[in-house]
Amino acid sequence: MDMTLLATLTPTADNTMADWVEQYRSFGPLVSIVMAFLLSFIPPLPTLAVIGVNAAANGLWYGFIFSWVGVMLGIMTVFILVRKLSHWSFIQRIAERKSMRKSLGWIEKNGFWYLFLFSLLPFGPFTVMHAAAGLSGISLRSFVIASATGRAVMIFAVSYIGSDLDSYIEHPWLLLPVIIFLGAGLWLAKQLDSWMNKHSQEGAAS
């Protein structure tokens, strides 16, 4: 048998990934939007993977738009649901959790910038943050602007990486900027959290 033909027929990691992305693309843009929407309701879903696959399947700009629309729909749904149902005992119990009280306190004091900075990060307690915003006194307009602009920057950065997935498969060393980006995002998230904890303790002491 021709060795070229044999190589073509033999499954490889490249072919498997390309086939998987093609199958994902075949479901249409609605699936990309729904997957991004679910990120606000299912915290274990890997945010970076969903956004990256959306870009790989739909291209940079369509992938960015589908992810951003889905993410914003999820964010706004959590915010509105929590605000409308804030009087329910179930929501009140959630509001008493330590992580929720901390986020709620910071949103009350620094609402717009707190939300904007966290929205820039690829990691973070986003579901808690959006629910806390719904319980806070921040206006829907400020919440949407802060979240929309911050998430747009993060989603575009991840979409840019995901849209050229084939290059990363063929040249793994190109993943170095991706690793640096993820590491920087994780470091910034930890620094911001430590800074907020420090100032929360100083505020409580005073």
> Length of the chain in residues, anyone?
206
Give me the phi and psi of 11, to 5 degrees please. Answer: -65, 140
Structure token pair of residue 189: 């998230």
Check residue 181 and give its pLDDT.
65
Q: Helix, strand or coil for residue 42?
A: coil
In a domain, 188, yes or no: yes
In-domain check, residue 3 = no
Residue ranges of the chain whose pLDDT lies below 50: 1-14
Q: Examine residue 2 and state whether it is found in any structural domain, yes or no.
A: no
Q: Are 157 and 64 in contact (CB under 8 A)?
A: no
The pLDDT score that the predictor gives to residue 146 is 86
Instruction: State the residue range of the domain holding 157.
Output: 8-205
Spatial contact of 70 and 32, defined as CB atoms under 8 Å apart: yes
Q: Check residue 159 and give its pLDDT.
A: 87
Is residue 1 assigned to a domain? Answer: no
**What's the whole-model pTM score?**
0.72
pLDDT (0 to 100) of residue 79: 92
Residue found by looking up tokens 């690793």 in the block: 179
DSSP-derived 3-state class of residue 92: helix
Instruction: Read off the amino acid at residue 187.
Output: W
Q: What is each CA distance from 124 to 62, 90, 157, 189, 193, in whole angstroms?
A: 25, 23, 16, 7, 9
What pLDDT was estimated at residue 1?
A: 40
- Of 45, 40, 32, nearest to 75 by C-alpha is 40
In the chain, the amino acid numbered 154 is M
pLDDT value, residue 32 = 93
Of 65, 64, 69, nearest in space to 34 by CA: 69
pLDDT of residue 38: 92
Whether 156 is in a domain gets the answer yes
Q: For position 71, what pLDDT does the model report?
A: 95
Contact at 8 Å (CB) between 47 and 122? Answer: yes
Could you tell me if residue 92 is inside a domain? yes
In a domain, 186, yes or no: yes
**Domains: count for the chain:** 1
**Residue 74 to residue 195: CA distance in whole angstroms:** 28
